[in-house]
Chain A
Amino acid sequence: MVEIRYTRFDISNDMEFSTIKKLIDEDLSEPYSIYVYRFFLNQWPNLTYLAWAEGSGKPIGCIVCKSDTHNGVRLRGYIGMLAVEKQYRGRGIAKKLITLAIDTMIDEKCDEIMLETECSNAAALHLYENMGFIRMKRLFRYYLNQGDAFKLILPITEKSCVRSTFLGMDSFPTDTIL
């Protein structure tokens, strides 16, 4: 069994950037422009992790995330992209990448983690739901391929469970991370 090691993305490394782009482009149903990659990777390089197989000079998997304020009241982490090369699937690499990203987002005081995935992607749903994510809503024809999506959320703090309307940053405790 090949050993897998995990590193945080190095923004000054062009090879890492281009490999992430290649890994995602190959599998994703939505074609992303260079801007989308730059948007995530340049602003939140600390929320992108890479998986490396022993002996391989390039990453074989990656997760790309961001975190910012949602509705001005809670900090929301967002998993934008996740990909693992076909030959390395089934070894828990995706799960490890998600875990690394979530741990970092929790360290950064995120109140919740959100993502969207195609309703037809049973494997992705199974993975995320096994980590505590729940489907909050269904989004009609969300993707360019006409497919519906589920919006999944993992609550980290109480703030995630209160409607934005009733959530004032000043009045709510921010240190309730579990």
Chain B
Amino acid sequence: MVVENNIAELANLTLDHRMDPKNEAQFIDITDHLKALAAKLAPETVVKEATFNLFEGTYALEVCNVKLDTSLIELCPEELEFDCNVPYGDSNNGERLDYVTAVCDRLCRSLMNWLHDYQTLPTTVLSCRYVEFLMELYTSNPVSSLQSFQGLRTRDPLYDQVLCSFVIGVCSFIKFTSKVLKDGGVYEEEDLNCNVMSLDMLSGVDTKEVIDLLNSSLQLLVQSYSESTHLQKLVDLVKHLLHLPNYHYPSCQSSVSSDLLPLQKSLDIISSLVQDDYTTKQHSYPPGCFSKGIQKRRDNNFPPKDLFEPKGDEYVSYTEFMRDIIAALSVKDCNTAFEIRQYVWFFNRIRQRTVMARALLQSYLIREDTILDKFRFNTFKDMHLYEFSLAGTALYDVISSREQTTDRDNMIEALNELSYCLLRWYQNMPQNSCRHRQGFNRLLLDWDSVQAQFEQYETQWQSMGIVDSITNMGNIPLMPVSTWIYTTKLLMMIEFTLEGFHLEVYKPWESFTQYWFCYYLSSHLESNLKRLHEFLLQKISYILNYNKRIKKLKAGEKKENAKARYRHLTDNVLPQLRLNERTVNFFFMKCTIFKSLSLAQVFQFALLKSFNVIDSKNDVSTRFSSDRLIHKLRFKTFSSIGIPEIPTFEQFQKSLNDFVIEPPSIHSKIPKLLNFMNTELESAKSALSTIIQTIETGETDDSPVSTGTKHVKEPALQWYKSMLNSTVALSVNASVLKTKLSEDLKSHDLHATYDVELKFTPNGCYYFPLLTISPKKARNALPHTT
């Protein structure tokens, strides 16, 4: 009856309807107006707010669409009636302690489900009614001290003190994590979803106060609840998590901690929690305590989603989480630019590190304009140059001179332009593997541009008399800065190319082109390194023979000056030159490894091509495009690169033909091809063994190479051992291919017989998946969606 009356009243309303000041609940029926206006619209018209675009649209919630409208979520009676101010459980039989422990345990696990398993906050931590209740309280009254915070009012200290402080601790950690995310380094949504549903996560509360509160709870548990061991560990763990802001530069600008002991201690707590074997299935919490209700009640930009139930391995994940963070912060132990470079390169190499560790590495390493608060960024860039190609050069003598001149200042200013490129390189390394490759796509533009710029600068500096010639190479100029830039750029080009295999971007038919290109780039890198190596030997020889020159001088000021210079050269320059020579040797070995493994892949591709099993062109319809255009698109990243010249489509095709075995007697020629391949693989093995042995035994002045991996030993060893495994796997794979291809000695066209796949080998390097063949399968299934 009430409804009917309302409908009748609504029907009488018009746009001219006058508001009745006594009746607050008034509505105006605009149906007719809407219909009249809609009738005038063309069918294709979209009525929308001007700023609402497709991106907004994909996040829009559609009323009454059960897949999108969170208000349609149905809650059970326990969820509807749940009251955070009721002390659930029997106070006499320990049920309350069980309940509180279970809630805290699940919250701890939920944190890991969010941070480690990439789940969202509303389906994990925020699904806890106590979290929602307490943060709503705080949001409506954001106090600056917890002393004036209302909290829970069950009149049971387990709830009001322990559970409340625990929730506050967890929320304070979420606040910190959001801050880490906002400060950049990792990507919202894909790396971490920080949707706090417009709740204020204790913005005004100091972490120290939260830690004090957790300490009080711990004290209470120890004193009054003898059966609370598991709960005590959980409280202790959250308390230790709140030490993390001490290592985050923007969170504590004045004194970023370098003491990792609290984090080591947290590993002990986690280990103890793993041993507890406390499973969520054995323990229950108050019914309705974890609920989808928050998605229904609060702002939500996401479609309804089921709660993420803990899987049971969360404390194992905590171990990895904390170890990754400790690994990230251990970058502090590095002393040289090369060590830091190597540390950052290997940090995220074997597997993608947990998002918090990747974010913390960046903020801990790069603190405004310094590195680790040890070196200003421009100095750090100079260190990179000095530790590679600048030591012992005439250019270094000028820029390190005490005498200030306009030319020197201009040179320093020019060199400082490199700092930005270097900074971007460091920021790119801890990204997730997809972003990491994309990052190179952009970085290559910058580095190619600075290379062109510095070749001009260094030519100009030569004309000013600052010359570093390589005598044994026809007095060609070294150009130390350009040499470093070119090396870095080539390494990025190689990495970008090989990461495509890791991310499964390439199809098997593309592998020849990519590996041949990698071989080509490595050869250019090798030539570049040879120039530098020759220069370093020349300089070392110059210093070693300097003494003979002194002997020829007459006693006097000139001789004394020469002696002083000799001391400076032997004490300072010579050790660095020798170290740089070992570093260059390391890069030479990297070249050998890349070249040999790539060439082995090229040989195997050529073997398959010889039997028409595969071709380096897409074996499909190119009705809409062409092989040449598809090739050009694949090499788009390098389309603007000046040096080295990028081979044309035709050059790639010709190269493949050079490797292919021509009839007649294809089978009898296979062993020769495999012999070539195995010789290459032996070179790679030898280089890898040298690197591995050097890392394992520790680097000395007598080591053949300098790897700079002293502080990142384990990941570096794993990386090179995975390459060694790939070397073996490639050799075995070649034999397998030979056997399969030789099954029918009369057939040289096996196109219709075999499918080719790129397969990762267990423990092998993901840059070198194997080209494998299997009997062709019929394909009927078709896709349904994109």
Contacts and interface: CB of A to CB of B under 8 A. Distances in A.
Interface of A: 11-12, 24-25, 27-36, 38-39, 42-43, 45, 79-84, 86, 89-95, 102, 106, 112-113, 115-117, 119, 121, 123-124, 126-132, 134-142, 144, 146, 148, 150, 153-158, 160-163, 165-166, 178
Interface stretch (B18-26, B434-442, B758-766): B434-442
B358 to A, nearest CB: 12
A42 B187 CA distance: 33
B46 A39 contact: yes
Given A34-B65, A124-B786, A153 B633 contact: yes
A45 to B, nearest CB: 6
Closest 3 CB pairs of A and B: A124-B783, A31-B67, A161-B632
Contact of B633 (A116, A138, A146, A161): A161
A19 B43 CA distance: 17
A174 to B, nearest CB: 15
Given A45-B44, A137-B438, 9 more contacts: A27-B785, A33-B68, A38-B46, A89-B782, A144-B303, A148-B434, A155-B629, A155-B632, A178-B625
Contacts of B624: 102, 106, 113, 131-132, 154, 156, 178
A130 B695 CA distance: 46
A43 B288 CA distance: 46
Contacts of A129: 507, 618, 620
B155 interface: no
Given A43-B44, A140-B434, A165-B640, A116 B786 contact: yes
25 contacts: A29-B785, A33-B60, A39-B57, A42-B43, A79-B786, A81-B785, A82-B783, A89-B782, A90-B781, A94-B783, A121-B783, A123-B784, A127-B783, A134-B507, A134-B510, A134-B630, A136-B633, A138-B434, A139-B190, A150-B505, A154-B625, A155-B632, A156-B624, A161-B639, A178-B625
A13 to B, nearest CB: 9
Contacts of B226: none
B9 to A, nearest CB: 30
B57 A33 contact: yes
B350 interface: no
Given A11-B43, A33-B62, A140-B190, A89 B786 contact: no
Contacts of B780: 90
A113 B780 CA distance: 25
B43 A123 contact: no
A83 B573 CA distance: 68
Contacts of A30: 58
A29 B178 CA distance: 28
Interface string B621-632: 111111001101
B118 interface: yes
Interface residues of B, number: 62
A24 B44 contact: no
B307 to A, nearest CB: 15
A160 B633 contact: yes
Contact of B58 (A32, A132, A153, A165): A32
Contacts of B60: 33, 35-36
Contact of A161 (B52, B57, B506, B629): B629
A59 to B, nearest CB: 14
B507 A115 contact: no
A35 B48 contact: yes
A140 B62 CA distance: 27
Nearest to B431: A140
B40 to A, nearest CB: 15
Nearest to A142: B190
A124 B302 contact: no
A69 to B, nearest CB: 14
Q: Which secondary structure dominates where chain A touches chain B? A: mixed
Contacts of A91: 782
Contact of B432 (A42, A135, A140, A156): A140
B445 A165 contact: yes
* Best-buried of A92, A124, A138, A166 by chain B (most CB within 10 Å): A138
Contact of B785 (A36, A82, A166): A82
B351 to A, nearest CB: 14
Interface string B292-310: 0000000000110100000
Given A39-B46, A132-B621, A163 B785 contact: no
Interface string B402-446: 000000000000000000000000000000111101100000010
B632 A158 contact: yes
Contacts of B625: 132, 154-156, 178
A22 to B, nearest CB: 12
B76 interface: no
Contacts of B629: 155-158, 160-161, 178
A135 B434 CA distance: 13
A127 B782 contact: yes
A102 B621 CA distance: 13
B45 interface: yes
A132 B68 contact: no
B311 interface: no
B633 A89 contact: no
Nearest to A36: B57
Contacts of A27: 784-785
A86 B783 CA distance: 10
Interface string B699-720: 0000000000000000000000
Contact of B118 (A137, A141, A163): A141
Contacts of A79: 786
Given A31-B65, A90-B780, A123-B783, A36 B54 contact: yes
Contact of A34 (B62, B437, B620): B62
A24 B785 contact: yes
Contacts of B618: 129, 132, 134
B633 A124 contact: no
Contacts of B568: none
Contacts of A127: 782-783
